Structure formats: C-alpha cells, structure tokens
Structure 1
C-alpha cells in the first residue's frame, strides 16, 4: 500500500482532534469567557451540525478544483479557524471559529478518503480507506484527554494553538509529498442528490445513521454505565477508555483488511451482525471486569470497522457521485451521533443506564435490515440489467 496514505491519515488525525477536544475543557472555557457550562457545550453541537451540512455543499462548489490544491486550501482555512479560536475574545467569535474549523475539516476528511482510494489498486481500496479512518478514530479517542492535559496545564487556548501548529506541519508534508489529483468529473448537486432516491444508496446511508445511533446510545454514557455495573473508580475508568481507544483505532485498519478480503457487501453484514451481538452482551458481561473488557474491545473495534467497508461499497455502487456519497455518509455518521446521544439520555431518565445497550441494539438491527435491503436491491438491479432485451 502506498505509504503516502499515512500522511493523509495524520492530517485527518489533526483535523479530527479539534471536534471533541473541547469536551475536556468546557469548564475552563465557561469560566474564562463568563458563560454557563451548558452554553459552552454548544461548541460541540455547532461543530457537528456545520460538519454534517457543509461537506456535500463544499464538494459541489469546489468540484472543478484540483484536489491537492483544494486540500491545501481547506487546511489553510482550518488553520485560520484554530488561530481565531486561540485568540477568541468572546464566545461569539469562538463559535464562528468552530464553524470555520468544522466546514474545512469535513472537506479534509472526504478529500483524504477519495485521494487515498485513488492512490492504490482497487483490491487495496478498502484498506486505504481504513487507514484514513484510523487517523479519524484516533483523533476522536485521544481528543478529550489531550485537551484536558494541555488545557489544565496551560489554559484552554493551548489545545487550539497546538492544533494550529500541527496543521502547518501537515500542510507542508502534503504540499511536498502528495501528488496532484485531478478532480473527478462531477454531476450537478441536484443530479447527485437524486441518487438518494435509489434504494441501495439511501439504505447504505441509513446503515451509518442507525448503527451510530445504536452505538452512541451506550457509548455517550459509557462512564455512568461502567460505574453503575462494575463499581470502578476513576483511575480504572481511564484504563477502560484507553483500551477502548486502542481497539477503536485498530478497528479502522482491520475493517479495511476484512473488506478487501471478503468483499464490502459480505463485510458489512458480518460487521453489523457481530457488532449487535457485542452490544447485547455488554450488560451481561459485567459479572466480570475481564469479560467486560473483552466484549468492550470487540464492540469498540467493530464500531470503526464498518466505515471502510461502507465507503468502499458506496464507491462501487455510485462511482459517478462517489465524493458526494462519501460526504453524505460522513454527515449520516454525525446525525447518528446526535440521535444516539439524545436517545441514550431519554433511556437514563426513564429507566436505567443498564438498559442503554439493549435499546441501542434495536437500532443496530435496523442497520442490519438496511444492509440486507441495500445489497439485495443491488443484486436485483444487476439481474435486471443482465436480462436480454427483446
């Protein structure tokens, strides 16, 4: 596999870190800017919303720009966003800076996926995409603890300054080592969005929405779940999160290998099925710390294994609108994150966090149903095309 893909993965690590890095320093931001803790939480919400909405629009608006040049433009805007965050005098400016970072980050991740998939032979495509997602997953896992360490040591502005510096290094590396990539001939946005009328495409995006909804129903409340079921202290809790993070990062690479080995369609069905089983077993495994760790590691790994298979599947299913599909799928992921967090909160209020995983399994089953529908629709479509014309 082309080693230059790791440069794109590291750029995605830097771009992804800024999304959740504020999670561990919300109290510092609220105190310094004189706002409530709930108001500072909007820094995460606005980021997710802008990220989900801006990707497809920006890809269409920039469809004729050479991809390496566009990547460097996006990184430049990303750097500006983080510099503004570093020196924000008030909450309104900080929100604006977060919007800049979110929109440029969404473009960086999608461009990394499309460029990486073009840098390798088709048989290694899913593995290349998996490497990109290892960068993304690593950033999401390490973002909160990294923000807490820097924020508590040097103030809440330090993490944004660090990201700005790392982004400059990424920009230099991409400018020097990544070759120019011509834009793929693009259809008008209206024509591309018409693909969502296609059963196999909309079902594929629904896999991401439902699977991430199910995942976040438990993951967003993993701390109270572990504390209530295992009665563990804070230091042991950090060990659980570290193990979860390592498994999540490995999941992206493993998912790419599985997809290349068994094909994207079979991989999607296998991953979603086993993921649902692991989520179902999570509450049952809490009779033992060791059993819970094993189940949690497999659950974490599979949560990121689905992305390479699904992205590869979308490229194969809609090659004429591959970029927009990948962007829409990233948007679907963020929709699932928002829905899962909300639903998990309702479960806790009305029942107990012990049942969050089982409620989440319901959505994973819906994801599996969407996967089967999408694949069967595709096979039927192929069969119809192969019939002789009278």
Structure 2
C-alpha cells in the first residue's frame, strides 16, 4: 500500500473528529448555550447537510485546480472554521462556523478518497478506500474520547482547539509527503445528477443514506442514551467511546479486505444484514447486563464502518466512467443520512425517550437491506468505454 494513502487517512481522521465529536459533548454545549440537548444535536445536522450540499458543488468548482495546493487551501479554511467554533459565544455563530467547517471538510474527504483510489493498483482500490475510512473511524478511537476528556477537564471549546492543532499537523504532512496531483476533468453538476437516472445507482446510493440514518438515530445521542440506561460517569462514557472506536477502525479495515476478497455484492449483503441484527439486539442486550451490551456495541460499531469500502467499490464498478462522480455523490448521501438520523433521533427524544432510538434506527437499517437486495438484482449498466488507465502517480 502506498504510504501516501495513510497520510490522506490522517487528514480524514481530523475531519471525522470534527463531525462526530459533538455527540460526546452534547450536554456541555446545551448547558453552556442554554439550549436543549436535541437543539445541540442539530449541530451535527447542520454539519452533515452543509457537507452533503457542498461536496459535489466544490468538486465541480475546483476541478481545474492542482489537487495538493487545493488540499492545503481547504485545510487552512477548515482550521479557521474550527477556531471560530472554539471562540464562538452564541448558537447562531456556532451553527455558521460548523457549516463552514463542513463545507471545507467535504472537499477534503472526497479528495482523500479519489486521490487514494488513484495511488494504488485496481486490485487494491477497496483496501485504499478502507484505509481512508479507517482514518475517519479512527477519529472515534482517539478524537472523540480525547475530546470528551478535554471537554470534561477544560470545557467543550477545548476539543476544537485540539482539532485546530491536528489540522496544522495535517497541513505539514500533506505539504511534505504528497506530490503534486494533476487536476481532474471538469464535470458539470447536470452530468453528475444525470448519472442518477439509473435505478441500480439510485438504490445503491440509497443504501448509504438509510443505513447512516438508522445508525445516527442512536449514535448522535449515544451519550444521553448511555447516561439514561446505565447512569455512567463521564470517565466511563469516554471508555465506551474508546472501545466503540477500536471496533470501528477494525470494521473499516476489514470491510475493505472483504470487498477485495469476497466481492462487493456478497460483502454488502452480509454487512447490512449483520448490522440490522446488531442494532436490533442492542436494547435487548442492555436489559441483560452492561457487559453483554458492550459486546453488542462492539459488533454494532465494527459493522457501521465496514460497509463503506465495499459499497463505494460497488458504485465504481457499476459506473466506472463516472466513478469520481459517484464517490462525490455518495459522500453527500452519507452525510444526508447522518443529518436525517440526527433529526429523527431528536424527534424520538422529544416525543418519547432516548431508550427508543435504537428501535427506530433499526427500521431504517432494514430498509437499507431492502435497498441492497434491490440494487444488486438490477441489470448492470452498459459500459461504453473502458475506464481510463491509472495516472502516473501509481508509478
């Protein structure tokens, strides 16, 4: 594996930390800004919506720019946005800064995926994408727990200062190790959207949306769920997030390996099916004991990040001539799912109890399984031309 893929994964780690860290410090933000927990949860929603909308637009608008320089510029924007979050004093400013952070982060993630997939030989694409998602899920191992520790010790603003420091380090790594990357061909937004006229592709993207909606219905409010169910201390909650992250990283890596070894179709069916089972048994396991619950959480966590490598490889195989477009659109779809899950989870909390979030999330995961079966059984697209050869970067 080209070592530069791991440099890109480190940058993805930083972006992933910013997006999900809010879930670990919702109660602190709500208390400081005098808002409800569900309102604080919408800081995840605004990030995800901005991320989803920005990704295809920015990829199109910046297509003519050399990729390394573009990466560094948007890392700088990402740095500034998180400093604004750290020093914001009201909810509206915080929302705006989160949107700016998401917009810059969206381009960084898509660039990481597209560049990484071109740095390796075709047979290693699944694993390269898996490494990038290991970077994102790795933010759960170190970013979120450390963020919670910093938040508990120094206040909720401290984690964002920590992210700013990580961003500076990522800028240094990209500047030193990543060589110049030629710009991609310009693809209009109309062409990007026109690629979704095919039912196989639409249902393929829908898998991500529904699965992430189900996942975030619980995960966006996992801290209040743990406190309500088990009355955990902040330190114990941080430990749960740490274990969750360990499983997430292993899941992202194994997902890429499964995609390369077993094929995308078989991997997708297995992962989505097992994820539905894991989410269903979570609330049941919580009634048995905390340790049984944690075993279910580890399985749930690993499977939550295992799908992306196989599913994104599937999209590239289904539409090789528009593979970059599909990766960009799927990144948007993923974050729309995160936004939807945050909204649905907030509604469940407001209308009933956080204890019901897992059950509601499971419904969306079952719909994701149905979408998987539907997409895999649709006829393959007609390929008019072979995919372009690898760029000189693989040499």
- For this structure pair, what is the TM-score category when the shorter chain's length is used for normalisation? 0.7 to 0.9
In structure 2, distance between residues paired with 1:177 and 1:298: 35
Q: Deviations over 1:231-253 (max 9, x none)?
A: 46435544433222211121111
Over 3 Å counting, the alpha-carbon distance change for 1:128 and 1:280 in structure 2 is: same
In structure 2, distance between residues paired with 1:208 and 1:336: 7
Q: Which residue of 1 aligns with 2:371?
A: 370
- Gapped runs of 5+ residues in structure 1? 386-390
Alpha-carbon contact 2:23-2:223 (below 8 Å) kept: no
CA RMSD of aligned residues (A): 2.9
- Gapped runs of 5+ residues in structure 2? 386-395
> Per-residue deviation at 1:346?
4.5
The secondary structure found in structure 2 opposite 1:63 is coil
Over 3 Å counting, the alpha-carbon distance change for 1:362 and 1:157 in structure 2 is: closer
Alpha-carbon contact 1:187-1:321 (below 8 Å) kept: no
Q: Which residue of 2 aligns with 1:269?
A: 269
Q: Deviations over 1:266-320 (max 9, x none)?
A: 2111111111122222233342444333222112101100011111112222233
Alpha-carbon contact 1:21-1:146 (below 8 Å) kept: no
Q: Which residue of 2 aligns with 1:285?
A: 285
**Normalised by the size of structure 1, how large is the TM-score?**
0.87
The secondary structure found in structure 2 opposite 1:4 is helix
In structure 2, distance between residues paired with 1:226 and 1:85: 26
The secondary structure found in structure 2 opposite 1:179 is coil
Q: Which residue of 1 aligns with 2:80?
A: 80
Q: Indicate whether 1:301 and 2:308 are aligned.
A: no
> Per-residue deviation at 1:222?
3.9
Over 3 Å counting, the alpha-carbon distance change for 1:340 and 1:180 in structure 2 is: same
Q: Which residue of 1 aligns with 2:393?
A: none
Alpha-carbon contact 2:216-2:341 (below 8 Å) kept: yes
Comparing 209-218 with 8-17, greater Cα deviation is found at 209-218
> Per-residue deviation at 1:114?
0.7
> Per-residue deviation at 1:27?
6.2
Q: Which residue of 2 aligns with 1:326?
A: 327
Matched residue count: 382
**Normalised by the size of structure 2, how large is the TM-score?**
0.86
Q: Which residue of 1 aligns with 2:149?
A: 149
The secondary structure found in structure 1 opposite 2:377 is helix
Q: Which residue of 2 aligns with 1:360?
A: 361
Q: Which residue of 1 aligns with 2:169?
A: 169
Alpha-carbon contact 1:186-1:321 (below 8 Å) kept: no
The secondary structure found in structure 2 opposite 1:185 is coil
In structure 2, distance between residues paired with 1:84 and 1:365: 39
Q: Which residue of 1 aligns with 2:390?
A: none
Comparing 250-259 with 154-163, greater Cα deviation is found at 154-163
Q: Indicate whether 1:2 and 2:2 are aligned.
A: yes
Over 3 Å counting, the alpha-carbon distance change for 1:105 and 1:211 in structure 2 is: same
Over 3 Å counting, the alpha-carbon distance change for 1:115 and 1:23 in structure 2 is: same
In structure 2, distance between residues paired with 1:28 and 1:282: 26
Q: Deviations over 1:40-75 (max 9, x none)?
A: 555433222211111110001111222222211211
Alpha-carbon contact 2:49-2:339 (below 8 Å) kept: no
Alpha-carbon contact 1:67-1:180 (below 8 Å) kept: yes
Over 3 Å counting, the alpha-carbon distance change for 1:223 and 1:294 in structure 2 is: same
Q: Which residue of 2 aligns with 1:217?
A: 217
Q: Deviations over 1:175-203 (max 9, x none)?
A: 11112222332332101211111111111
- Whichever of the two has the greater Rg, that structure is 1
> Per-residue deviation at 1:224?
5.5
Alpha-carbon contact 1:269-1:368 (below 8 Å) kept: yes
> Per-residue deviation at 1:138?
2.1
Alpha-carbon contact 1:206-1:332 (below 8 Å) kept: yes
In structure 2, distance between residues paired with 1:239 and 1:354: 20
- 1:223-242 matched pairs, under 5 angstroms: 223=223, 225=225, 231=230, 233-234=232-233, 236-242=236-242
Q: Which residue of 2 aligns with 1:116?
A: 116
In structure 2, distance between residues paired with 1:88 and 1:295: 38
> Per-residue deviation at 1:6?
1.1
